């Protein structure tokens, strides 16, 4: 079928609206895009020189929800279903996948990086890993009336911190510290709070802190208005008041900035745990020996395995993690203006681009 998509030809330049023929192909599906969220990673690809695995020209966008309108051989059962497309799709067949390391599957598909992505009317992806969305017209499964386009951000902004939290072993009564509470970190705070953790939020944006204080953060700190020593003492004091030892503090770096990563690493105490979720292409100077001296752990987190998506959908549809206050929708036709606004820091919510129906 003939689809239209916004194509990046050169870094830093406006995207170009183009048409191309596309089909599902064997084992694949063609998804009519309901919504595609705009991620910090998209901005990195377009403005900051972060390389894509598929060279430009390329359609970006990896937070996609929509409806399967064409299914290839072996994927016929998906036809007509509403789905969320994982931002990282492992092949499920290679040695890495079979031995429990699907996150580093060498054959994985990352829409908007390995193949054309979701800033388009339609998206072609493998069928394996798709997450079926419950009937949104049923008030029992969707009591808060969310629409399919809004669920697109599950594909990274919500699922990625979910996997990071699960990997950390966070338990009820632990302390979770999120450094940066934008798109990913804001949902991470809510996920940790839903699991019963005491949550601390750090951000330089007061509006973000005000919002997240109403959605799970028990303590909100402005590290740009405090010395690092004061930040660390506030974190330690918060944990001490609740009787939580250092080895039950989980730190999540979700800012994707040099200062945020330095702060997160510096907050490690004996037996502590650091999850690096945010990304910056810039180098960060750290005293790595702190991990040895503190017997601490630092772990990266790449996306989210498709097997976790149903649990994330449940958290969103049940209202345990709020979506509406943290997102805003814009027509896909305004993509270039939106990308500029995001790059210039003029938007605080996660933007979802919606194609014309």
Mean pLDDT over 155-159 rounds to 97
Q: Which of 300, 315, 345 is the last residue of a domain?
A: 300
- Which residue do the tokens 């399919």 mark? 148
Question: Is residue 6 located within the same domain as residue 140?
Answer: yes
Identify the pLDDT of residue 121: 98
Identify the pLDDT of residue 76: 98
Which position has the higher pLDDT, 102 or 281?
102
- Percentage of residues in the chain with pLDDT exceeding 70? 100
When pLDDT is cut at 50, 70 and 90, the band that residue 357 belongs to is confident
When pLDDT is cut at 50, 70 and 90, the band that residue 232 belongs to is very high
Domain that holds residue 213: 160-300
Question: Is residue 71 located within the same domain as residue 149?
Answer: yes
Question: Is residue 112 located within the same domain as residue 200?
Answer: no
Tens digit of pLDDT for each residue in 14-56? 999 999 999 999 999 999 999 999 999 999 999 999 999 999 9
Question: Is residue 59 located within the same domain as residue 75?
Answer: yes
Question: Is residue 130 located within the same domain as residue 100?
Answer: yes
Q: Residue 210: is its pLDDT beyond 90?
A: yes
Please provide residue 143's backbone torsions phi and psi, each rounded to the nearest 5 degrees: -65, -20
Q: Which residues, in sequence order, are CB contacts of 305 under 8 Å at separation 6+?
A: 88, 90, 102, 103, 163
Question: Is residue 251 located within the same domain as residue 273?
Answer: yes
Question: Is residue 228 located within the same domain as residue 182?
Answer: yes
DSSP E strand stretches across 267-322? 273-276, 297-300
Q: What CATH number corresponds to the domain at position 97?
A: 3.90.180.10
When pLDDT is cut at 50, 70 and 90, the band that residue 128 belongs to is very high
Q: Residue 213: is its pLDDT beyond 90?
A: yes
Question: Is residue 105 located within the same domain as residue 200?
Answer: no
Identify the pLDDT of residue 348: 86
Q: Residue 4: is its pLDDT beyond 80?
A: yes
Mean pLDDT over 54-73 rounds to 98
Identify the pLDDT of residue 235: 98
Q: Which of 273, 300, 327 is the last residue of a domain?
A: 300
Question: Is residue 137 located within the same domain as residue 165?
Answer: no
- Which of 274, 233, 271, 269 has the alpha carbon at shortest distance from 254? 274
Count up the domains in the chain and report the number: 2
Question: Is residue 187 located within the same domain as residue 144?
Answer: no
Identify the pLDDT of residue 257: 95
Question: Is residue 23 located within the same domain as residue 148?
Answer: yes
Question: Is residue 87 located within the same domain as residue 132?
Answer: yes
Q: What share of residues in the chain are helix, strand, coil (percent, to 5)?
A: 35, 25, 45
Q: Answer yes or no: are the C-beta atoms of 313 and 131 closer than 8 Å.
A: yes
Mean pLDDT over 326-345 rounds to 96
Identify the pLDDT of residue 137: 96
Mean pLDDT over 104-121 rounds to 98
Identify the pLDDT of residue 160: 98
Mean pLDDT over 191-205 rounds to 98
Q: Answer yes or no: are the C-beta atoms of 45 and 52 closer than 8 Å.
A: yes
Element (H, E) at 272: none
Tens digit of pLDDT for each residue in 262-304? 999 999 999 999 999 999 989 999 999 999 999 999 999 999 9
Q: What CATH number corresponds to the domain at position 264?
A: 3.40.50.720
């Amino acid at each position: 079928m003939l689809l239209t998509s916004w194509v990046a030809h050169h870094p830093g330049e406006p995207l170009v609206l183009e048409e191309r023929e596309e089909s599902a192909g064997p084992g694949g599906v063609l998804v009519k895009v309901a919504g595609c969220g705009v991620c910090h990673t998209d901005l990195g690809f377009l403005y900051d020189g972060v390389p894509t695995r598929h060279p430009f020209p390329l359609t970006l966008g990896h937070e996609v929800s929509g409806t399967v309108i064409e299914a290839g051989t072996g994927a016929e059962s998906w036809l007509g279903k509403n789905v969320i497309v994982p931002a990282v799709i492992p092949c499920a067949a290679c040695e890495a996948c079979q031995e429990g390391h699907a996150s580093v599957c060498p054959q994985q598909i990352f829409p908007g990086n390995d193949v054309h992505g979701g800033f388009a009317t339609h998206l072609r992806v493998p069928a394996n890993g798709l997450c079926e969305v419950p009937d949104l017209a049923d008030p029992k499964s969707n009591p808060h009336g969310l629409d399919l386009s809004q669920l697109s951000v599950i594909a990274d902004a919500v699922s990625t911190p979910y996997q990071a939290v699960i990997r950390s072993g966070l338990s009820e009564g632990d302390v979770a510290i999120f450094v940066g509470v934008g798109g990913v970190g804001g949902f991470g705070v809510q996920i940790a709070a839903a699991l019963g953790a005491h949550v601390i939020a750090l951000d330089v944006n007061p509006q973000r802190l005000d919002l997240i204080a109403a959605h799970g953060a028990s303590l909100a700190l402005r590290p740009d208005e405090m010395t690092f020593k004061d930040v660390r003492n506030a974190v330690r004091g918060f944990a001490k008041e609740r009787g939580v030892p250092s080895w039950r503090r989980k730190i999540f770096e979700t800012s994707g900035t040099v200062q945020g990563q330095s702060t997160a690493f510096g907050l490690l105490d004996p037996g502590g745990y650091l999850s690096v979720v945010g990304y910056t292409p810039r180098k960060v100077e750290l005293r790595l020996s702190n991990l040895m001296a503190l017997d601490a752990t630092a772990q990266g987190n790449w996306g989210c395995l498709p097997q976790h998506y149903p649990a994330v959908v449940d958290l969103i549809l049940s209202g345990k993690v709020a979506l509406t206050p943290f997102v805003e929708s814009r027509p896909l036709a305004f993509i270039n203006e939106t990308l500029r606004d995001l790059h210039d820091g003029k938007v605080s919510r996660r933007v979802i681009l919606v194609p014309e129906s």
